[in-house]
């Protein structure tokens, strides 16, 4: 019969695969970032969207053109460039020139990611590399902060971030004044809601945690690293005599812990490695804040830990069958 001529396909087991793929993973990260982006628009105005658009378009275009130029397969549909673009925008001031956002994300994609082999090959978080480069290249633009549109206390067009105020010698009371809070708990609340000066997407702990909760429910991220990073920040700043709650809510700790320190490619895969990465990143951040010249240290804290990931990945957990031999009762 005709079966003898039929060509059957040969392949190694398994012959079954989940429908879950990289695109869906990245799609979920994008969804999880939307609350923070919406918060950015609410607190700093529609220009936040423009900065994000510039960053995303540049990231996607940079990846597409770079791979085309190298005659390699393009993978922009996996949405990883979009994630990098959004993440970078969320850690820029709303007043950033659009060209600067575009340059930053193109640098992030080409230098931090594609030159290392593309998604999966990079050792450092591309968005953070982009931000670090912009901070070194155009420090004035990168430290020009707008107050939240919903802060009644001040009518200035530029202000300082809570961490910036402290770095310049201000006190918590000055920070309270900057966000129009009357007491410490009111300050915490305003900071948790996101009603303060800062990068587009970093200010609202509430909205960031909302997105992170989605990623946890969808089993996209592991909570070990963020918990370790937040706890380390809390503990270290308390040891330095600072206000631990303020330290966690200020700057980019929550955005960094839940969306940067959970980046698959540039953080450890081993369980102990994840704890160590989080603790290290939190510690570095506080050290930079307390002892360095910069008011904020999340970017460098995480980037520094990115470098030691290969070592943290050597801490392999116990494998099945590696138990002490059972006593055999004869």
Partner 1 sequence: MNLKTFRGGIHPPENKEWTRSMPIERIPTPKSVVIHLTQAIGAQNQPLVKVGDRVVKGQMIGDVQACPAATVHASITGIVKKIEPAPQSNLKDGMAVFIEADGTDETAYMPPLDAFVCSREEAIKRLRDAGVVGMGGASFPTDVKLAPPADKPIDTIIANGSECEPYLNIDYRTMIESPADVVEGLAIAAHIVGATRAVVAIEANKADAVPVIEHEFQQHAHGMHMETVLVATKYPEGGEKMLMKAVTGREVPSKGLPFDIGVICQNVGTLKAIKEAFADGKPLIERGFTVSGGACKTPKNLYAPIGTVIADLIPDVIQMSDDVRKVIFGGPMMGITVPSLQTPVAKGTSGILFFTAAESKQFEERQCIRCGRCADACPAQLMPMLINAALLSDDLNRADAIGLVDCFECGACSYVCPARIPLTQRFKLGKDLLRNQRAKEARHGK
Member of 64, 141, 264, 294 binding partner 1 (CB under 8 A): 264
Q: How far from each other are the two terminal CA atoms of the chain, in whole angstroms?
A: 61
Question: Does 223 participate in binding partner 1 (rule CB under 8 A)?
Answer: no
Question: Does 327 participate in binding partner 1 (rule CB under 8 A)?
Answer: no
Task: Tell me whether the omega of the peptide bond preceding residue 14 falls within 30 degrees of 0, making it cis.
Answer: yes
Least separation in angstroms between residue 79's CB and partner 1 is: 12
Question: Does 27 participate in binding partner 1 (rule CB under 8 A)?
Answer: no
Member of 71, 140, 182, 322 binding partner 1 (CB under 8 A): 322
75 bridge partner residues: none
DSSP string, 264-290: TTTS--SHHHHHHHHHHHHHHHHHHHH
* Span 68-97, contacts to partner 1 by CB under 8 A: 73, 75, 78
Question: Does 307 participate in binding partner 1 (rule CB under 8 A)?
Answer: no
Between 92 and 220, name the residue whose CB sits nearer to partner 1.
220
- Grouping H, G, I as helix, E, B as strand and the rest as coil, residue 93 is coil
Phi/psi of residue 76, nearest 5 degrees: -65, -25
Question: Does 21 participate in binding partner 1 (rule CB under 8 A)?
Answer: yes
Between 71 and 318, name the residue whose CB sits nearer to partner 1.
318
Member of 169, 183, 241, 317 binding partner 1 (CB under 8 A): 317
For residues 278 and 243, give the distance between their C-alpha atoms in angstroms, rounded to a whole number.
20
Question: Does 182 participate in binding partner 1 (rule CB under 8 A)?
Answer: no
User: What residues have CB less than 8 Å from 10, skipping those under 6 apart?
Assistant: none
Between 20 and 99, name the residue whose CB sits nearer to partner 1.
20
Between 222 and 243, name the residue whose CB sits nearer to partner 1.
222
| CA neighbor of 309 nearest in space, from 270, 276, 267, 275 | 267
Question: Does 313 participate in binding partner 1 (rule CB under 8 A)?
Answer: yes
CB atoms within 10 A of CB 134: 23
Residue 305 near residue 281 (C-beta atoms within 8 A): yes
For the chain, the C-alpha Rg in angstroms (whole number) is 22
Question: Does 311 participate in binding partner 1 (rule CB under 8 A)?
Answer: no
Between 12 and 183, name the residue whose CB sits nearer to partner 1.
12
Member of 68, 72, 121, 173 binding partner 1 (CB under 8 A): 121
Residue 227 near residue 182 (C-beta atoms within 8 A): no
Contacts with partner 1, residue ranges (CB under 8 A): 1, 3-4, 6, 8-18, 20-22, 24-25, 73, 75, 78, 117-121, 222, 264-265, 267, 269-270, 313, 316-323, 325-326, 328, 330
């Amino acid at each position: 019969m005709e079966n003898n001529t039929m060509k059957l396909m040969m392949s190694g087991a398994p012959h079954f695969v989940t429908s879950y793929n990289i695109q869906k993973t990245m799609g979920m990260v994008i969804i999880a970032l939307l609350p923070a982006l919406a918060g950015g628009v609410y607190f700093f105005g529609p220009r936040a969207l423009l900065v994000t658009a510039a960053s995303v378009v540049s990231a996607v275009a940079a990846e597409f053109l770079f791979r085309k130029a190298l005659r390699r397969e393009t993978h922009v549909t996996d949405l990883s460039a979009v994630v990098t673009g959004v993440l970078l925008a969320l850690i820029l001031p709303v007043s950033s020139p659009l060209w600067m956002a575009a340059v930053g994300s193109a640098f992030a994609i080409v230098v931090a990611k594609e030159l290392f082999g593309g998604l999966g090959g990079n050792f450092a978080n591309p968005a953070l590399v982009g931000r670090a480069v912009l901070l070194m290249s155009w420090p004035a633009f990168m430290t020009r902060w707008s107050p939240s549109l919903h802060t009644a206390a001040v009518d200035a067009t530029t202000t300082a971030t809570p961490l910036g105020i402290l770095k310049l010698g201000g006190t918590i009371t000055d920070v309270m004044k900057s966000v129009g809070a009357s007491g410490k708990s009111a300050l915490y609340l305003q900071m948790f809601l996101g009603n303060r000066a800062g990068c587009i997407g970093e200010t609202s702990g509430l909205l960031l945690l909302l997105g992170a909760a989605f990623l946890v429910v969808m089993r996209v991220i592991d909570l070990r690293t963020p918990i370790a990073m937040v706890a380390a920040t809390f503990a270290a700043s308390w040891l330095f005599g600072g206000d631990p709650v303020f330290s966690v809510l200020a700057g980019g700790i929550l955005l960094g812990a839940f969306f940067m320190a959970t980046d698959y490619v540039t953080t450890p895969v081993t369980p102990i490695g994840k704890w160590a990465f989080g603790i290290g990143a939190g510690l570095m951040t506080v050290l930079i804040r307390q002892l360095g010249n910069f008011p904020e240290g999340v970017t460098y804290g995480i980037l520094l830990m990115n470098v030691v990931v290969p070592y943290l990945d050597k801490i392999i957990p116990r494998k099945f069958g590696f138990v002490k031999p059972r006593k055999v009762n004869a």
